[in-house]
Structure 1
């Protein structure tokens, strides 16, 4: 049965056809919106619009391209109704222009949603997700682009649509598309991390990266203040940056991070959280660690924070920490019990 014939049959058959593209459409919506929660809602909105507009599919493009058109415009409608821009970071009620802006809606995307779409594992006709276009730093950088520029950049540079087809999707001219793309590229170059201004194809996590994550976990689980500072010096760059959207917490270097964390590890501190357990995972094709804490006197370890790590030259250069409410999306339990 051809795609255009499939659209004429019942809703169940249509849903089966659309579901084949759910994950890649969610990745597209996630890039557009920067939020895994919003991306899930917009994929559902895309499918609803596609079903209602199924009679408009003429077969001049592929069914996938038709869905991308609907998804892109659904995201643009969402952003028009819910405008949002990164804002100066506020610490103690005061704006800090010397620190990176806040992007409170930024969320990570679970690795299991990306694995079927990575090089070597994707279906023959699927859009492959390249590491350099899904890392948190890239997702954060494109949030600075106006929605139309963002959509042009993603359609042209990430998905590879030609200018003419992009103009048809967005209902604008080729000249407008090319102009928007030029402006988007210039902004993106300014916003990407200094050593990653020109993105290159990423690779699967190496054995060295996995060892780095294991050592990071060991430091947190051991919680020995006499060794934490030295261990951090080996694992992290001196100018490491640590943030936790949407909370305005920010550490600008390794010393600040150590001072901020040490109280939670020191049993003599009023901030002491308890004993830590950590589980490695993946987010945005980056290493990530899910931390759990067992408060003094408690029987189980409770979900505490999800750290997404950016690694360069063998050290951690950035940690973006997220609320434990995201654990279930990563297939992680919210409670760990001590093994017998």
Structure 2
């Protein structure tokens, strides 16, 4: 769905909702769009599928609003609809993944290969599409951590109903009885599903966001400035200083990924030399710092999502579907368009 289509909101269903209430109900439904998009993104692993799922949720809610009897809260009712939409979408579909979930790291000399279909990959999502702009700081921190690409990848390992249970219980802090009512199940069944989901996540090495990091501090901001400066100047010595020894580089839709600073730098000096002269424009994605990368000719190349730890950059996650992703992030399809400027100049 295009950004313009998604922005039409519930009004797109107005003609279908014969006899549905006007005005205030639309505002009440739309007030939940951001959190529902975050929920559907965690379930589906795609910002575009999440927006489609929320749009379908809003359409169904609009059509049924005059029959909503208020036995449950409006929020619970919308989550029930969204869960059913997501479960329907997940029937028979293969799980989305990151390149490192599918194969061992590649060598620098490995051919880049042919890009795999979009449905193969977990995609990035702009923070503003899925995170509330205000709220309890602790809840906001958990929400931000629970959209990390690694955590979204771990969620995809779960059976769809287990996925819903874990997100509702451990990310959104619903009670077991609330989840059981939403799923039309029992508390015992919900607790059993949660136990199995936790075991699967533990085996994958990732867990729900119960130890979210603080917002970027001065040292982390300084590290990002050093990274941007080094990358835009394509200074390999400066990049050596900011990249962690065990850092990774991935580039969906290609399955190729690299592990280790030495291989990343060697790749940049060789197959990746086209990145020389790039401009980086700051955005926020998946609760992490990110950049829209434009090549020297001003054309978009990637959305980079950056992971940091211990004062170094630990992951460069580049998503190359620029035709869809740059509009999603509000970025023009040419550097300098609409007043966009580089991160180093901001």
2:128 corresponds to 1:112: yes
Give distance in 2, aligned partners of 1:265 and 1:9.
Answer: 55
Judge conservation of contact 1:307–1:321 (CA < 8 Å) in 2.
Answer: yes
| Alpha-carbon shift at residue 274 of structure 1 (Å) | 5.1
* In structure 1, C-alpha distance between the alignment counterparts of 2:276 and 2:244, rounded to whole Å: 26
Residue 132 (structure 1) shift: 2.0
Deviations 1:84-103 (A, max 9, x none): 3547338679xxxxxxxx98
- Number of equivalences: 306
Q: Residue 73 of structure 1: which of 84, 88, 93 is its match?
A: 84
Structure 1 pair 274/255, CA: closer, same or farther in 2 (3 Å)? Answer: closer
Give the Cα–Cα distance (whole angstroms) in 2 for the partners of residues 311 and 12 of structure 1. Answer: 45
Aligned position for 1:173: 186
- Shift in CA distance, 120/175, structure 1 to aligned 2, threshold 3 Å: closer
**Inter-partner Cα distance in structure 2 for 1:128 and 1:75:** 25
Q: Write out aligned runs for 1:18-97 (5 A).
A: 18-84=29-95, 86=97, 88-89=102-103
| Aligned: 1:191 with 2:193 | no
- Superposed CA offset, 1:193-216 (max 9, x none): 5xx787403322112222111111
Find the partner of 2:295 among 272, 275, 293.
Answer: 293
- Cα deviations by residue, 1:296-331 (Å, 9 ceiling, x for unpaired): xxxxx1111111011111111112111223111111
1: distance between equivalents of 2:96 and 2:294?
A: 32
Specify which of 262, 275, 278 is matched with residue 276 of structure 1. Answer: 278
Please list, as runs of the form range in 1=range in 2, the aligned pairs for 1:188-337 lying within 5 A after superposition.
188-192=201-205, 199-224=210-235, 228=236, 230-263=237-270, 272=274, 275-295=277-297, 301-323=298-320, 324-325=322-323, 326-337=325-336
Greater strand content: 1
Segments of structure 1 that go 5 or more residues without pairing to the other structure are 1-7, 94-101, 267-271, 296-300
SS at match of 1:247: coil
What residue number does 2:14 align with?
none
- Distance, in Å, in 1 between the alignment partners of 2:178 and 2:209 is 26
- Relative to 1, partners in 2 of residues 1:321 and 1:84: Cα closer, same or farther, differing over 3 Å? same
Q: In 2, distance between residues paired with 1:180 and 1:121? A: 29
SS in 1 for 2:120: coil
Runs of 4+ in 1 over 6 A off after TM superposition: 90-93
